Structure 1
Amino acid sequence: MSVVGRFASASSSPVNLDEQAGAENAYPKPTINCGTRIDLLAIRRVLPDLWSAFLRQNFRSAYEVQVVFSVTESTSLNWWNGKNAPHASAALAVVHRFPGALQALIGEAA
């Protein structure tokens, strides 16, 4: 008998439901989001401007950004001018390197 077939019927279940009658109400069910809600769309909308401001505060030029992050000239100029923001890998590298960067990048959007 397959593993799925073995546990498909209630009679073959390793759990005795009679012993646990009402136990499902004894403990509150955990929720996936136990903290405050984060508005990811708001972060996506404001991140290019926040990213550009962060780069301008911590780097001298788009060329320096290009060298530090190993990105193309076009990408570094887009970041520098606030046209778009990086993918998670570059953002996480900044958060790791600069204390306080996460709050600067997320801002009040979350």
Structure 2
Amino acid sequence: MSCGYLWFEEIPLPAVDFISEHLREDCESFVFKDEDVLILTYPKSGTNWLIEILCLICSKGDPKWIQSVIYLIRNPRDVLVSGYLYWSTSNFIKKPESLE
């Protein structure tokens, strides 16, 4: 553990809420189902909007939604600024030194 982070499988996590033994157990016991949807986005890049869109699609019962591709694109500079402002005000992770 360094700089207030817990490194788990080369991923830095806030050391506040994570215990490596629990993470290991969760990773080993988790099973993906065919109907599961995995969403991967950069922090502060519109993840909640994407979740909402997928939920609306799923709730209509259209089985073709899994076969379509949804792209979420946001200007990387906007992601950087939004992330910086968010992490600057959070209590659970090391504060960024400066935007520069």
Structure-2-length-normalised TM-score: 0.23
Q: Which has the higher contact order (CA 8 A, sep 6+)?
A: 1
Structure-1-length-normalised TM-score: 0.22
Structure that is richer in strand per residue: 2
Q: Which has the larger radius of gyration?
A: 1
